[in-house]
Structure 1
Amino acid sequence: MKKVLLVNDSKFENLILKDMLDSIGYIAATADEYDAIDKVLAMRPDYIIINRVMKETHGDELASKIKARFPEIRCILSSCDLINIDDYSNTGIDAVIRTPIDQYRLKAVLKNMEYAKRDKRK
């Protein structure tokens, strides 16, 4: 089973996304911006979904720190605003999603990332 770490300062949004991920067959855990690195070390997730704006940091900055140590982890930036992946080149962001998101779209994003990862290996 693939593992996903959710990093968000909104506990409510984390719980909703965690429930969705659990229901579509992923192992999900939650973190905030302060314990994200420790959770990455403990969990070694395949994916991280990071909120774009948190109390003291931005998701793209945190993704850059994580990718510097763990380049194999795929980072997805989430926001309630409309954001474009092209605005986050060279930041460690592999995809963007707009929240709220339904479980079908979330599953599609994760599956597309897995297919893209396999294609790069060929």
Structure 2
Amino acid sequence: MKILIVNDSRFETLVLETMLKELGLQTNSCDEYNAIEKARSEAPDLILVNLYMKEINGDVLIEKLKKVLPKGIYVLTSSNEKELRTKMKSKNVTTILKTPASKKDLKEMVKKVSTDYLSQ
């Protein structure tokens, strides 16, 4: 499974990339400015998008990404669980991931979205 991480925090991105690679997953990353171009060129299976970034909120960016990759799996990440639950009601978000996340959290999320996606 190819995963694209969209986050304006390089530290958070490195932590997520390291854990996902340890789980045997292929990752790539970018900031919000390059997300659409990267999604178009990489065609990832799953895109992790941070909710709060400098120029655009993750849920708004996911709407734009859906136009490029309509069948992608979109996961919104944030430390604000209440805000995440509100955004989850959007039909554009597949699921949410509260951060900071453990490797176990990531593994469970990937397994869940993969199973749900394949059963559609």
Q: Distance in 1 between matches of 2:94 and 2:65?
A: 12
| 2:74 alignment partner in structure 1 | 75
| 1:47 alignment partner in structure 2 | 46
Q: RMSD of aligned C-alpha atoms?
A: 1.3
Q: Distance in 2 between matches of 1:60 and 1:90?
A: 8
Q: What does 1:1-122 correspond to in 2, within 5 Å? A: 2-83=1-82, 84-85=84-85, 87-120=87-120
Deviation at 1:53, TM superposition (A): 0.5
Q: 1:80 to 1:100 in 2, by over 3 A?
A: same
Contact residue 52 and residue 78 of structure 1 kept, 8 A:
yes
Contact residue 78 and residue 99 of structure 1 kept, 8 A:
yes
Question: May I ask how many residue pairs the two structures share in their alignment?
Answer: 119
Quick one: which amino acid aligns to residue 94 of structure 2?
A: D
Contact residue 88 and residue 95 of structure 2 kept, 8 A:
no
Q: Which runs of 5+ in 1 are unaligned?
A: none
TM-score by length of 1: 0.91
Q: Distance in 2 between matches of 1:17 and 1:112?
A: 17
Contact residue 3 and residue 47 of structure 2 kept, 8 A:
yes
Quick one: which amino acid aligns to residue 57 of structure 1?
A: I
Contact residue 61 and residue 91 of structure 1 kept, 8 A:
no
Q: 1:91 to 1:57 in 2, by over 3 A?
A: farther
Sequence identity, in percent?
33
Deviation at 1:99, TM superposition (A): 0.5
Contact residue 52 and residue 58 of structure 1 kept, 8 A:
yes
Quick one: which amino acid aligns to residue 23 of structure 1?
A: E
